[in-house]
């Protein structure tokens, strides 16, 4: 029988990686389709909204937008709260991570001089404000809502992981160091047995 497919760039990052982690934690046996950057322009027009990740379930049209994918998986597999208000609170934080991407993402495509200025401005203003708001709304420990991992935690983990390695030019690796709850969620996801077992698996090759 055909397996569900998750389609994303051939890199363990960002929106695609948080969906892969959610599918793995959910115990879903999925095909991890990895698109090489060279192959993307030809595939882009075939995607529902011209972007990835895209989740394909047998017999259903392709599903796009990361939070829609995460919520579909999370709700069905115990990775999103059953309580409607708590679920909405998690969804608010999931949107907060998307807001971070919307603010930092455009700098990825800037020429070097513009990138430096734009990122220095983010370091001086937006990024600490973003982290402070995240910190204020993390109500539990070690995860966002308490003892149990949920899809929101995967997003917070990926957001912190983006910067913590120090590989984003002009943004210090310590940008979120003053926010212990945020770092705590990052570390708890990193140390979660299910997450570790994902990284212990051989990663599939990209196409073509």
Ligand X SMILES: N[C@@H](CCC(=O)N[C@@H](CS)C(=O)NCC(=O)O)C(=O)O
- CA angle 69–102–64, rounded 5-degree value: 20
Q: Binding to ligand X by residue 52, rule CB under 6 A?
A: yes
Nearest-approach distance from CB 114 to ligand X, in angstroms: 20
- Residue 154 vs 188, nearer CB to ligand X: 154
Q: Binding to ligand X by residue 66, rule CB under 6 A?
A: yes
Q: Binding to ligand X by residue 51, rule CB under 6 A?
A: yes
Q: What are phi and psi of 207, to 5 degrees?
A: -110, 150
Return the residue nearest ligand X (CB atom): 51
- Residue 105 vs 180, nearer CB to ligand X: 105
Please state, in angstroms and rounded to a whole number, the distance separating the CA atoms of residues 109 and 53: 19
Please state, in angstroms and rounded to a whole number, the distance separating the CA atoms of residues 123 and 108: 15
- Residue 73 vs 188, nearer CB to ligand X: 73
Structure tokens at 73: 């998986």
For ligand X, the binding residue among 3, 37, 42, 44 (CB under 6 A) is 44
Instruction: Give the number of residues in contact with ligand X, rule: CB under 6 A.
Output: 9
Structure tokens at 111: 């020429």
Contact criterion met (CB below 8 Å) for 123 and 107: no
- Residue 102 vs 133, nearer CB to ligand X: 102
Structure tokens at 145: 């809502």
Nearest-approach distance from CB 51 to ligand X, in angstroms: 3
Q: Binding to ligand X by residue 65, rule CB under 6 A?
A: yes
- CA angle 78–35–152, rounded 5-degree value: 25
Q: Which residues contribute to the site for ligand X (CB under 6 A)?
A: 14-15, 44, 51-53, 65-67
């Amino acid at each position: 029988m055909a397996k569900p497919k998750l389609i994303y760039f051939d890199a363990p990052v960002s929106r695609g990686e948080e969906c892969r982690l959610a599918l793995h934690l959910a115990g879903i046996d999925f095909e991890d389709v990895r698109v090489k950057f060279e192959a993307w322009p030809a595939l882009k027009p075939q995607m529902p909204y011209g972007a990835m990740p895209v989740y394909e379930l047998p017999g259903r049209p392709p599903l796009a937008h990361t939070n829609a994918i995460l919520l579909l998986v999370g709700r069905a597999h115990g990775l999103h709260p059953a309580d409607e208000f708590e679920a909405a609170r998690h969804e608010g934080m999931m949107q907060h991570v998307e807001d971070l991407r919307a603010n930092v993402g455009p700098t990825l495509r800037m020429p070097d001089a513009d990138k430096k200025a734009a990122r220095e401005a983010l370091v001086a203003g937006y990024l600490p404000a973003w982290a402070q708001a995240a910190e204020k709304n993390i109500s539990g420990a070690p995860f966002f809502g308490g003892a149990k991992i949920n899809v929101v935690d995967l997003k917070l983990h990926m957001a912190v992981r983006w910067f913590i390695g120090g590989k984003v030019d002009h943004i210090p690796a310590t940008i979120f160091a003053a926010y212990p709850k945020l770092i705590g969620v990052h570390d708890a996801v990193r140390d979660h047995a299910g997450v570790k077992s994902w990284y212990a698996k051989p990663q599939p090759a990209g196409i073509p």
